[in-house]
Amino acid sequence: MLDNLLSLMIFLPIVLGAGILLLPVGREAARALGLAASVLVVLFGLKIFLTFNGSSGLEFVERSPLIESLGISYHLGVDGISLLVLMAAALLFPMVYLLFRTREKGYYGNLLIVQGAMIGAVCAADLVLFYMFWEVMLLPVFFMIGLYGGPNRLKATVKITIYTIAGSLLMLAAIIYLGMAHHQATGQWSFAMDALSGLSLAGPAATLAFVGFMVAFAIKIPLFPFHTWLPDAYTEAPTATTFVLSAIMAKIGVYGVIRFVVPVFDESFARYALILACSGVVGMMYCGIAALVQKDFKRMLAFSSASHMGIIALGIFCMNVQALTGTLYQIVAHATSTGVIFLLLGLIEERSATRTIDDFGGLASRAPILAVFFAVAMLASVGLPGTSGFIGEFLIILGAIKFNAVIGILAATTLVIGVCYMLWLFQRVFFEKPAEKTATFHDLTAIEVLTILPVIVLIIVMGIYPQPFLDKINPAADRQIAALAQVVAVADSGDGAELNNQGKN
Amino acid sequence: MIEHYLSLSVLLFCLGVLGVISRRNVFVVFMSIELMLNAANLGFVAVARLHQSMDGHVLALMVMAVAAAEAALALAVVILLHKHKGNLDTNIFSLLKG
Amino acid sequence: MEGNLSSLGFIPLLPLAGALVLGLMHLATCRGRLISERIYALVGCIGPILSFLLAVNVFFALQALPAQSRFLSHQAFTWFSVGELTISMGFLADPLSVLMLLFVTLVGSLIHVYSIGYMAGDPAFGKFFSYLNLFLGSMLILVLGDGPLVMFVGWEGVGLCSYLLISYYSEDRGNVVAGNKAFIVNRIGDFGFVLGMSFLFWGIGAEGFDYLSLKANAHLLAPTLGITVCLLLFVGATGKSAQIPLYVWLPDAMAGPTPVSALIHAATMVTAGVYMVARFSFLYAQVEVAGLVVAWIGIMTALLGAIFGMFQNDIKKILAYSTVSQLGYMFAGVGVAAYSAGIFHVFTHAFFKALLFLGAGSVILALHHRQDIWQMGGLKNKLPITYWTMLIGALALAGCPPFSGFFSKDEILYSALAGGHTGIWAIGVLVAGMTAYYTFRLIFVVFHGQPRDREVYDHAHESPKVMTLPLIVLAVGALFAGFLNLPAIFGGHQQVSHWLAPSLTEVHPHGSMATEVLAIGGSVLAFVVGISIAYRRFAGGAEQPVFTGFRKFAYHKFYVDELYDTVLVRPYRFVGQAVQRVIEPYVTDGPVRAAAWLYRMAGLAFKVIQVGYVRVYAIYMVIGLSVMSLVLSQSLNF
């Protein structure tokens, strides 16, 4: 049974979720089932993390043909690139079931399905399979926002759905193009990643397909200027869904770029990396500035999340091993820190029934434990050394400077931009005089503390002792950069070499 | 010879279409639809005879069976419509107006 | 050449563990106070004191080694390693870091003890000690780190603690704003620091990113890159050490409890920038331009701080600007490549400035949290220990021979003069006079003359022993620390400079006897002039003056805060509002909305033919079928 660990992680939640939706199950039972499934997934995930060795390519491979005539197969596997994303998708879910009680059963069902689909998308090594999971991922989000969201949920739902589907369809066209290109080159249909990455694509059609993929992922990440669905969706979604969207789903967009775009479209990628990097940096600054003036707690955090995604995405486009490793690391670091922030926000929202920042005040004296947890997550998100946020951010900035000094300098402004809005938020919510609306605010309960504490500990451990994690992802990042370097060496890339030459002179 | 049968079939069909388009009573519209079905049947049978094949006959029988089933369903719908609005003028059923 | 000393790791670890334990104790019991202050105090002080003892131990271990191989290090573990970048969590004890280590742990321990008295009765006693321990741990990481990145851990850690402690009384909005200001301004500095480190890494870091490897490879650094790195690192230093243009946070930082002002915002953290420049002396020695920038910014900051200090009324603000000013001296010192002189001033300054702040805290506590010097007066009889210790501190700060401040300041001014930087020296002497003036303005107004507020005066009482004891210890330090580096002209051997020599890349200027006499004469003259003006104006019991003209301008700190607010903060918020109100809805979301609008318009257009009558749909169908049949029959050639 444990041979099919990945399938189990994917289909246990999906089947259970579908069952919960179809069968007359009570709300509490649904929650208990969801919790049990997610805990099992955590255990499987830990097993994968511990037995993963990282020196070779895909591990835990499962492969069986799905549509043989078209070369579509059910092909799963984990490597250093997907490992940490998989961990984020596998490990964070039990918290949602433990912390939030007042949801309807359908909510839990959808949550299970989205988890299974996300794990599937991360593990898929076949593009068609990936596309299927990618689309399935969206459905539960549609229902979770549309059914259980805030007052303006319909607009937000329509926006995120149409936006994402538009991107996905472009990607579908690109995937079909890739299959055809493979057919033309070898006479065989295949959508397997290992087969496709061997293709050498050129010409306008390849560029178009590259754009198709990039747009799909850019929307999901979201990359500036495709981020406009995000504030609405994050704000209107129930907080647990926002948590799923920001902590995990956005990361799958980043993962998609690293996993599919970089190896397959290496040439186009190298050519447009600078533009993409600019988009990442501009997005970081733009969303960071926009975050400052938000009045709604959640909307502010939404912009903050988008701002961080800009810097995370930047790491991919710098095409060196430091930045790429930084991105992979930051995927988890940001998932944990932003995840905790959104979860705490959800708890705060439940307790005080408001989200307007000015309604808060003095929470630190009413709820010191909550304040400490929030502070740790906040410090991780602004990249304080000693927390997980620093390692990734520093590596990305370091890599960005190697790639292009100007981009690197702009990227480093995240150090300042981040603290501006975060500290101001912390001041107005947790410090100052206790506000009336928070008069009856009570601190975290024991269960809530125990639920969040492991993640807080993880944030700090990942900041102080990151090497075990890095060891898992380093070989894969090295391989990818080495493969890319060959292409870059052929292509014209004056920008990247500039600084090195300066150093040697 | 076949032309006559087919012409009659087309004539009947066009009458049915005209009925559907021009009449406002649901019943008459329904009857016009039946007329169109029968026109089609006539065409089937005529062509089957021409080709000495059983296919057309089978299809005609098929259409008759479907028409019967449809009649049962449609009449039920008509009764419900009448119960709902007390009238069978198609112009008052315009929920699909954009 | 290098020895391993695993106890190095424990020096920062002990206070950090203390912080964790105290924090957990506080969080576990913050609903009802179950733990007495005594236990908190015990747990809080044990870490710093043990660290101090370990530091002394390290000092002796180091001293036992021959001068050129005084390096002890400890690699705790590999922190992270990616590609050519490998950073280990390593600690390095060399003469420079051990000197810092000694006074940081000593002053830190004393201030912990002092805080037991100062913070007594505070509802969050445990939290305060937790933060203080966390600060000390971070500061020790900063000092002991064996490379820039480990230093950066402590660097940011002390910034965080500074923020937490400035906004300690968080119910008051002003305090929190001051805390935010400190953190954000420091972050602007850190922005420079991170960039400096990154450029340095891509320049020469691939062989190893710790001080010893960097020092060995420093000559490989391209000159332009060298200047860039030095200036960027200095941006970090201006943030942390409150230099122009990033000094604005330090005076506001006085919102924190007074022991915090003494420990963090006077004695230790703010000197980290000087320490960093001295650490990178091998780089700064290579690029003279960068050193000159450092020196000039330093001396201008010294001047500015002194001007502001002369016109403040808040006892802590006076001391804060004095700190800014003294930090300027230190940068002037390290800028003119007199690294040991700069570090020596850091060392002596830690004693007398901590002493002055703690004394001020004692006064403030005695007067029930009044800080305006014009409400004080004649306190020397009421607070004798505070008065005498503070007087020693003031004499040291003002540069009165033979107190410690005289020697260290004179060393800097002499180096500037001997190095040919006459302008820096001249300004330095001027600032020395101003320092003497504002210091004794404070002393005379607060302790001499007649009480200005009789009721306050009557209720004043000397602080408990737990507070006066640290004052006395620090006073001894302020009095005698200068003799550790007695220059040859007074018959000394400059032990501190010689001790530091293996860590620093420094060329001692060989000035003539005349230069030396000129430097000393200038300093003494400045002191005498400054103190006599202060005596004439304030010793008799002056009343609060009304500032006009330039004095008002200086009292309002040249309106620099307002300027920053107008030039930086408001535009930043304005951009934010513009993004939120205009750019986001109309520019970035514009295409999306336009697409949606197009669909809507198309729908409206097609709506016309959707009449809702079944008959009409039938017509459409007939028409459609007819057209299709026509097309089909045409194409099939019937």
Nearest 5°: phi and psi at A435?
-90, 165
Touching, B vs A (3+ Cβ pairs under 8 A): no
How many whole angstroms separate alpha carbon C11 and alpha carbon C58? 10
Give domain status of residue C583, yes or no.
yes
Interface test with B, best of C600, C608, C611, C614 (most B CBs within 10 A): C614
Give domain status of residue A109, yes or no.
no
CA-nearest residue to A366 within chain C is C31
Chain C residue numbers with beta carbons less than 8 Å from the beta carbon of A408 are: 195, 198
Burial C77-100 (b: 16+ CB within 10 A, else e): ebbbbbbebbbbbbbbbbbbbbbb
Interface confidence, given as ipTM, is 0.91
Q: How far apart are the first and last CA of chain C?
A: 102
Nearest 5°: phi and psi at C75?
-95, 110
**Quick check: A261 and A173 in contact, CB under 8 A?**
no
Give domain status of residue C638, yes or no.
yes
Tokens at A181, concatenated: 């290109």
Burial A395-417 (b: 16+ CB within 10 A, else e): bbbbbbbbbbbebbbbbbbbbbb
Do residues C616 and C583 both lie within one domain? no
Chain A residue numbers with beta carbons less than 8 Å from the beta carbon of C170 are: 362, 364-365, 430-432
Tokens at C129, concatenated: 């000690």
Q: Judge whether A292 is closer than 8 Å to chain C, CB to CB.
A: yes
Residue with the larger pLDDT of the pair A440 and B52: B52
Chain A residue numbers with beta carbons less than 8 Å from the beta carbon of C209 are: none
Look at chain C and count its residues.
638
Strands C85-93 and C3-4: unpaired
CA-nearest residue to B94 within chain C is C612
How many whole angstroms separate alpha carbon A14 and alpha carbon A7? 11
Is the per-residue pLDDT at C557 higher than 70?
yes
How many whole angstroms separate alpha carbon C235 and alpha carbon C277? 11
Contact B90 C615 (CB under 8 A): yes
How many whole angstroms separate alpha carbon A89 and alpha carbon A115? 7
The pLDDT value given to residue A501: 42
* C501 DSSP assignment: G
Provide the 3-class DSSP secondary structure of residue B25.
strand
How many whole angstroms separate alpha carbon C357 and alpha carbon C316? 7
Give domain status of residue C620, yes or no.
yes
Give domain status of residue A170, yes or no.
no
Do residues C589 and C569 both lie within one domain? yes
How many whole angstroms separate alpha carbon C146 and alpha carbon C589? 49
Nearest 5°: phi and psi at A63?
-150, 120
How many whole angstroms separate alpha carbon A152 and alpha carbon A150? 6
- Distance (Å) from the alpha carbon of A423 to chain C's nearest alpha carbon: 6
DSSP-assigned letters across all residues of A434-478: PPGGGTT-----HHHHHHHHHHHHHHHHHHH--HHHHHHHHHHHH
- Distance (Å) from the alpha carbon of C590 to chain B's nearest alpha carbon: 28
Give domain status of residue A234, yes or no.
no
Contact B94 C613 (CB under 8 A): yes
Tokens at A229, concatenated: 């669905």
Query: What is the pLDDT averaged over residues B6-20?
Result: 93
User: What pLDDT band is residue C191 in, cutting at 50, 70 and 90?
Assistant: very high
Chain C residue numbers with beta carbons less than 8 Å from the beta carbon of B93 are: 614
Counting the structural domains of chain C, the total is 2
pLDDT tens digits, C399-450: 888 899 898 998 899 999 988 889 999 999 999 999 999 999 999 988 888 8
Amino acid at C84: E
**Any bridge partners for residue B25, and if so which?**
B89
**Quick check: A264 and A202 in contact, CB under 8 A?**
no
Is the per-residue pLDDT at C105 higher than 90?
yes
Amino acid at A257: V
Contact C156 A385 (CB under 8 A): yes
Distances (CA, A) of C22 to C43, C244, C447: 7, 37, 38
Give domain status of residue A167, yes or no.
no
CA-nearest residue to C606 within chain B is B98
Q: Judge whether B27 is closer than 8 Å to chain C, CB to CB.
A: no
How many whole angstroms separate alpha carbon A138 and alpha carbon C629? 42
How many whole angstroms separate alpha carbon C205 and alpha carbon C140? 24
- Distance (Å) from the alpha carbon of B21 to chain C's nearest alpha carbon: 5
Do residues C581 and C570 both lie within one domain? yes
How many whole angstroms separate alpha carbon A95 and alpha carbon A89? 12
Residue with the larger pLDDT of the pair A413 and C486: A413
Tokens at A456, concatenated: 């807080």
How many whole angstroms separate alpha carbon C498 and alpha carbon C302? 27
The residue to which tokens 């089978």 are assigned: B58
CB atoms within 10 A of CB C4: 9
Going from the N-terminus, what domains does chain B have, and what CATH number goes with each? 2-87 (1.10.287.3510)
- Distance (Å) from the alpha carbon of C254 to chain A's nearest alpha carbon: 18
Tell me the torsion sign for CA atoms A207, A213, A214, A219: positive
**Quick check: C482 and C348 in contact, CB under 8 A?**
yes
Give domain status of residue C440, yes or no.
no
CA-nearest residue to B25 within chain C is C615
Do residues C600 and C616 both lie within one domain? no
Give domain status of residue A418, yes or no.
yes
Order of strands, sheet of C85-93, starting from the edge strand that comes earlier in the sequence:
C3-4, C72-82, C85-93
Q: Judge whether A322 is closer than 8 Å to chain C, CB to CB.
A: yes
How many whole angstroms separate alpha carbon A119 and alpha carbon A257? 16
Identify the helix (H) or strand (E) that includes residue C197.
helix C173-204
Strands C85-93 and C72-82: antiparallel
Write out C71-107 in H/E/C secondary structure.
CEEEEEEEEEEECCEEEEEEEEECHHHHHHHHHHHHH
Look at chain A and count its residues.
505
Give domain status of residue C569, yes or no.
yes
User: What pLDDT band is residue C638 in, cutting at 50, 70 and 90?
Assistant: low
Domain membership of residue A467 as a residue range:
268-505
Provide the 3-class DSSP secondary structure of residue A356.
strand
Pick from B21, B90, B94: which is nearest to C619 by CB? B21
Taking all residues of chain C, what is their mean pLDDT, rounded to a whole number? 89
**Of C343, C338, C310, C340, which is closest to residue C327 (Cα–Cα)?**
C343
pLDDT in tens, chain A (505 residues): 467 889 999 999 999 999 999 988 888 888 999 999 999 999 999 999 988 887 777 888 888 888 888 888 999 999 888 888 999 899 889 998 888 876 688 889 999 999 999 999 999 999 999 999 999 999 999 999 998 888 888 989 988 998 899 899 999 999 999 998 899 888 888 888 888 888 877 788 889 999 999 999 999 988 888 888 999 899 999 888 899 999 899 999 999 999 889 888 888 888 899 999 999 999 999 999 999 999 998 999 999 999 999 999 999 999 889 999 999 999 999 999 999 999 999 888 888 888 888 888 888 888 889 999 999 999 999 999 989 999 999 999 999 999 999 999 999 999 999 999 999 999 988 888 888 777 778 888 888 899 999 999 999 999 999 998 888 888 888 888 888 887 777 655 444 444 444 433 3
Give domain status of residue A439, yes or no.
yes
The pLDDT value given to residue C143: 93
Chain B residue numbers with beta carbons less than 8 Å from the beta carbon of C612 are: 94-98
Strands A59-67 and A72-78: antiparallel
Pick from B29, B91, B98: which is nearest to C610 by CB? B98
Strands C72-82 and C3-4: parallel
- Distance (Å) from the alpha carbon of C621 to chain B's nearest alpha carbon: 10
Is the per-residue pLDDT at C34 higher than 80?
no
Half-sphere exposure of A326 (CA within 13 A, CB side): 30
How many whole angstroms separate alpha carbon A472 and alpha carbon A153? 40
Radius of gyration of chain C (CA): 31
CB atoms within 10 A of CB A242: 28
Contact C609 B98 (CB under 8 A): yes
**Of C551, C560, C529, which is closest to residue C307 (Cα–Cα)?**
C551
Angle, helix C404-418 to helix C465-480, in steps of 10 degrees? 40
Pick from A292, A369, A391: which is nearest to C80 by CB? A391
The pLDDT value given to residue A46: 92
DSSP-assigned letters across all residues of A223-255: PTTS-THHHHHHHHS-HHHHHHIIIIIHHHHHH
How many whole angstroms separate alpha carbon A189 and alpha carbon A209? 17
**Quick check: C132 and C79 in contact, CB under 8 A?**
no
CA-nearest residue to A434 within chain C is C171
The pLDDT value given to residue A19: 92
Give domain status of residue C473, yes or no.
no
User: What pLDDT band is residue C379 in, cutting at 50, 70 and 90?
Assistant: confident
**Of C364, C354, C433, which is closest to residue C390 (Cα–Cα)?**
C354
Give domain status of residue A51, yes or no.
no
Q: Judge whether A402 is closer than 8 Å to chain C, CB to CB.
A: yes
**Any bridge partners for residue A62, and if so which?**
A76
* C464 DSSP assignment: P
**Of C239, C241, C231, which is closest to residue C195 (Cα–Cα)?**
C231
Domain membership of residue C564 as a residue range:
556-605
Chain C residue numbers with beta carbons less than 8 Å from the beta carbon of B96 are: 610, 612
The residue to which tokens 């301008």 are assigned: C553
The pLDDT value given to residue A494: 46
- What's the whole-model pTM score? 0.89
Contact A415 C224 (CB under 8 A): no
**Of A277, A324, A301, which is closest to residue A382 (Cα–Cα)?**
A301
The residue to which tokens 């009649």 are assigned: B71
The pLDDT value given to residue C3: 65
Chain B residue numbers with beta carbons less than 8 Å from the beta carbon of C622 are: 17, 21
The pLDDT value given to residue A499: 42
Give domain status of residue C632, yes or no.
yes
Give domain status of residue A400, yes or no.
yes
Give domain status of residue C328, yes or no.
no
Burial class of A394 by CB neighbour count within 10 A (0 to 12, 13 to 18, 19+)? buried
The pLDDT value given to residue C33: 62
Tokens at C226, concatenated: 């060298």
Tokens at A310, concatenated: 């800009």
CB atoms within 10 A of CB A478: 16
Q: Judge whether B94 is closer than 8 Å to chain C, CB to CB.
A: yes
How many whole angstroms separate alpha carbon A484 and alpha carbon A491? 11
How many whole angstroms separate alpha carbon B90 and alpha carbon B87? 9
Chain A residue numbers with beta carbons less than 8 Å from the beta carbon of C571 are: none
> For residue A65, is the peptide bond before it cis, meaning its omega torsion is within 30 degrees of 0?
no
**Of C120, C100, C158, which is closest to residue C44 (Cα–Cα)?**
C120
Residue with the larger pLDDT of the pair C565 and C548: C565
Contact A385 C224 (CB under 8 A): no
Chain C residue numbers with beta carbons less than 8 Å from the beta carbon of A365 are: 170-171
pLDDT tens digits, C220-242: 888 889 999 999 999 999 999 99
Interface test with A, best of C16, C27, C82 (most A CBs within 10 A): C82
Contact B98 C614 (CB under 8 A): no
